[in-house]
Structure 1
C-alpha cells in the first residue's frame, strides 16, 4: 500500500509537521478530508477534468440546496413583510399605534439583527451551520405566531426584536453555503436564485394576505401573523431534516462526489470550512479597504430598502385608499424583483469580471423610479407613479452582488466570515436608518425619503467604481509579482492546503 506521503504530496515542512503530530486545525477541513481518504492531487484533478461528472454533480447540488434556500428566503421575506401587510389592515388602530411608533418597529427588527448576526456567524462556524439555520427558522416562526397575541406597541416591539434575533443568521449563512458548494463563476446566479425569492415572496405574500383579508372571525392582522408563523415553523422542520451542514458531513453525496466538490472549491482558493477562529484574520478583514467599500455600498443600498420595504404599501394606499387593492397592486413588484435579480446575476455569472458593472447598471432604474415617485403628481398620474414604484426595486440586484462579494473575494474562512458579518452589519444599519427618512407629514409622496434614496443610489455608483479600480490594481500587482518571482508559482499546492487569506496567498485573484 502507498504511503501517505505518496498519496498526498506535501510542499511545506510546517504542513508535514501538522499531519505528523495531528495538529490539523490550521488546514482547511476539505483538504484534511482528501488526505484522510487517500485522494491525491492527481485523482482530484482527474475528477475536475470529467466534464459530464461535474455537470451532473452541479445539478445534484442544485436539487439538494436551492429548493431549501429558496423556500426559506421566500418565507423570510413574507414574514418580515407581515408587519407592512398588517399596517394596511387594522394593526395601527387595534394597537393604538402612531406612525412614528410604526417606523420604530421596522428599526427595532434590524437593531436586533445587528446585535445577533456576528455571534450567530461565529456559532455557525464553530458548530453545525445547517442546524443553526433550521433552529432559527423554527424560532422565528414561533415568534411570529406569538405576535398575534399582542395588544400594544410594547408587546409587538419585543416580538419584533426577538424576530430580528432569530432571522439574523439566515442570509450570511446562505452566502457562506453558496461559497462552499459552488465555484466562483456559479455563485452569483445561485445567490440570485434564492435572493430573487424575495420577489416570489412579495407575490405569494400578497396573494396570501389578500385571501386572509377576507377573514371576518378574527382581526385580519392577527390572522396574518398566526398563519404565516405556522407555515414557517413547519418549514423549519423540513430544513432541519434535509439541509446538509457542510460538504464533508453531507449524507446524500458519495466520497468521490465530496472530493470533487472540495476540488472545485480549490479553484477559487477560498477553502471549504475551518472551525478554528483565527483572530489575525479578523484583524485583516478590519483593515481591508475592499471590506469597507462593500460596507458603505450595502449601508446606502439598505437605507433605500428600509424606506421602500416599510412605506411602499402606504405609498400605494395613497393612490387607492383601499386595503385589498393596495395588496393586489403590490404583487407585480415581486415579479419585477425576480426579473431584476435573475437577469443581473445571470449576467454577472456569464460575463467574466462584470459584477461591479452590473452593480452600477442596476442602480439606474432605481434612480429613474424614485424620480417618478417624487416628481409625478400622485392624483393625476397614478399609473406613472405605480410604474416608478416597480422600477425602483432594481437596486436589489446590486445588493445581491455586494452581499456575495465578501464570500467570493476574501480568502481564509475566518476573514471571509468576518467580512460577511461586517457587510451584514451595514445591511442592518441601513434598514434601521431608512424608515426614518419617510416623514409622516409628507405622505404619500415622502419628498425627504426620495431625496435620501437618490443620494444613496448616487453614492453606490461611486463606490462600485472605486471597488473595481481597487480590485483591478490588486490583480495587476499579483500578476506582476508572479511573473518575477518563481516562489509564488511554487506556492500553488500549499495555498490549497492551508487556510490562507487573500493577502497571504500570492496566487489569489479577485473577481470584479
Structure 2
C-alpha cells in the first residue's frame, strides 16, 4: 500500500528513540513468491528443519555466487590499482603530471563514485540487480582500455571520473546480494571471502604488472591499461550470463530451493527484495543513529585507505630505485590482507555478537604498522619499514564488517539499500580525503599522512565501542518489551511484510 494509506505497526510501542516511524507496507517479493506457489508456513518450517538439505543448498549457493563475486573483486582491485602501478613506471613522465595532479586523479575516481552510487542502487532495486552490475563491469573494462590513449592530466581525469561512475554499484550491490542469499550468521564470512580478493588482486596484480613491465614495444603503463581492460570486459560478459538477479528469478534452483532460501532470509527478518522504493524507509534510515555511526566509521577507515592505496607503493619505491623491485616488494601485502580479512570475518561468523570487537582488534596492527613506517629509518631499517607496510592493511577487515552491517542490521529493503548507500557515500568521501594528506615534500615517509592514519584508526575504535553499546541497549529494551504483560505482539501478516527493524519488535540486532 502507499505511504498515504499505511497503517501503524504494533512496534510503535517501542522506545521512541528506537522508533521514529511505524508503518506496514506491501509484502516482500519473497513472500509473494511463497503465496503464489502455495508454500504454507508449516512447509517452510519443515524445510528449515532439514539440516542436510540446508547445508547442501548453502554449498550450491556458494558455488554459484562466490566465484563470480570473488573474481569481480579481484579484477576490481587490480583495475583500481592500475593507477598506482602505472605511477611506479612511466605514467607521470608520459603524461607530464605533477604529484599533486596524481593525488587528484585518486580523488576524482571517488567523486564520481559518490555521485553515481545511489542512482545505481535505486536502478538496481527497481530493475535487475545482476544486469546493472554486469553492464557496468563491461563499461568499466572498456573505459580502462580507452585510458591507454590518454596523454595528459585532463584526459586521465576524464577517464578516471568515468571509471568511478561505472564501478560505483559493484560493492553496494554485492553487499545486498550477500544479505539476500545468506543468513545473518553466514554473511560476514561470505562478504569476507569476496572482499579478501582485494588481497588476491594485490598478489595477482603485482605478478601481472611485473610481467607487463618487461614489455619494450609500448609504454608499460599503456600496456597495463589495455591488458587489464580487455580481461575485465570478458569477465563482465561472463557475469551477465551467470549472475542471478535475485532468489525468485534464479534459474539454477528449484521451487523448493527458492522457498527454503526465502525461509532462511525470514530468520533475520530483513526480507529478500522489494522493487518498490518506499520514502518513509529512506526517512527512517536518515534518523537511525546506527547508520551515522557506521557512516563515520567508514569515513575514517577509507581516509586511511585513500592514503595507503595510492601512496604505499611510492613509499616502497623510496626503499629502492628499481620500478620492478618496487612492484615485487608490494606483492606480500596482498597475502597479509587475505589472512586478515578471512580470519576476522570467520571469527565474526563463528562466534555470536563479536563483530564490533573484531572491528577494534583489527585496527591495532594498522596503528603499529603505520608507526613503524613513520618512525623507523628508511635507510637503515628497510626490513622493519616493509614489515610495517605489510601489517598495516589489517584495517580492511574492520571495513568489511562495517560495510556488511547495514545489510544485516536494517530491516526493510529500501531502508537497507539506503543505509548501504549512505555508508558508501562515506566510503567515497574518505577515499577523496585520504590522498591529500600525503605531501610530495614529505616523501617517502609522508609524516602528515601517517599521523592522520593513526588518528583515524583511534577514532574508529571509539566508534565501534559506541555502536556496540547502542545495539546492546536496543536489544535489551526489546527483550524487556516482549516480556512485559502489556506487549500484544504482531500478526503473521505483519511479520512477513517488508518491515523495517524499527517496525518489527521481534527484530534483534547483531553486534
TM-score tier, shorter chain, comes to: over 0.9
Distance 1:326 1:485 in 2: 67
1:332 paired residue number: 332
SS of aligned partner of 1:253: coil
1:372 paired residue number: 372
CA contact (8 A) 1:107 1:431 kept: yes
Distance 1:503 1:129 in 2: 26
Structure 2 residue 489 is matched with structure 1 residue 494: no
1:99 paired residue number: 99
Per-residue CA shift, 1:190-244, capped at 9, x if unaligned? 0000000000000000000000000000000000000000000000000000000
Structure 2 residue 212 is matched with structure 1 residue 219: no
Distance 1:125 1:484 in 2: 38
State how 1:343-422 maps to structure 2 within 5 Å: 343-422=343-422
1:267 paired residue number: 267
Q: What stretches of structure 1 move > 3 A for 4+ residues in a row? A: 485-491
1:4 paired residue number: none
2:151 paired residue number: 151
CA contact (8 A) 1:269 1:411 kept: yes
1:251 paired residue number: 251
2:20 paired residue number: none
1:198 paired residue number: 198
State how 1:6-405 maps to structure 2 within 5 Å: 26-405=26-405
1:7 paired residue number: none
Distance 1:485 1:267 in 2: 25
Residues 336 and 13 (structure 1), Cα distance of their counterparts in 2 relative to 1, 3 Å cut: closer
SS of aligned partner of 2:318: helix
CA contact (8 A) 2:495 2:504 kept: no
CA contact (8 A) 1:109 1:160 kept: yes
Distance 2:154 2:237 in 1: 30
1:8 paired residue number: none
Per-residue CA shift, 1:469-488, capped at 9, x if unaligned? 00000000000000015655
CA contact (8 A) 2:25 2:499 kept: no
CA contact (8 A) 1:26 1:276 kept: no
Per-residue CA shift, 1:430-449, capped at 9, x if unaligned? 00000000000000000000
CA contact (8 A) 1:488 1:507 kept: no
Per-residue CA shift, 1:386-425, capped at 9, x if unaligned? 0000110000000000000001000000000000000000
Distance 1:413 1:484 in 2: 30
Structure 2 residue 436 is matched with structure 1 residue 436: yes
Distance 2:486 2:184 in 1: 26
Per-residue CA shift, 1:456-480, capped at 9, x if unaligned? 0000000000000000000000000
Moved more, 333-342 or 482-491: 482-491
CA RMSD in angstroms, aligned pairs only: 1.3
Structure 2 residue 454 is matched with structure 1 residue 454: yes
SS of aligned partner of 2:81: helix
2:506 paired residue number: 507
Deviation for aligned residue 1:305? 0.2
Distance 2:156 2:25 in 1: 44
Normalization by structure 2: what TM-score?
Answer: 0.95
Deviation for aligned residue 1:495? 3.9
- How many residues get paired? 491
Deviation for aligned residue 1:258? 0.1
Deviation for aligned residue 1:26? 1.5
Distance 1:365 1:211 in 2: 31
Distance 1:128 1:166 in 2: 16
Distance 1:485 1:200 in 2: 54
Residues 327 and 253 (structure 1), Cα distance of their counterparts in 2 relative to 1, 3 Å cut: same
Deviation for aligned residue 1:497? 1.6
Per-residue CA shift, 1:275-300, capped at 9, x if unaligned? 00000000000010000000000000
Moved more, 464-473 or 482-491: 482-491
SS of aligned partner of 2:342: helix
Distance 2:429 2:50 in 1: 45
CA contact (8 A) 2:25 2:497 kept: no
Higher relative contact order (CA 8 A, sep 6+): 2
Deviation for aligned residue 1:494? 3.0
1:18 paired residue number: none
Deviation for aligned residue 1:496? 3.4
SS of aligned partner of 1:444: coil
CA contact (8 A) 1:269 1:495 kept: no
Distance 2:8 2:370 in 1: 59
2:4 paired residue number: none
Per-residue CA shift, 1:72-127, capped at 9, x if unaligned? 00000000000000000000000000000000000000000000000000000000
1:6 paired residue number: none
Normalization by structure 1: what TM-score?
Answer: 0.95
1:483 paired residue number: 483
Distance 1:243 1:402 in 2: 25
Distance 1:496 1:190 in 2: 27
1:425 paired residue number: 425
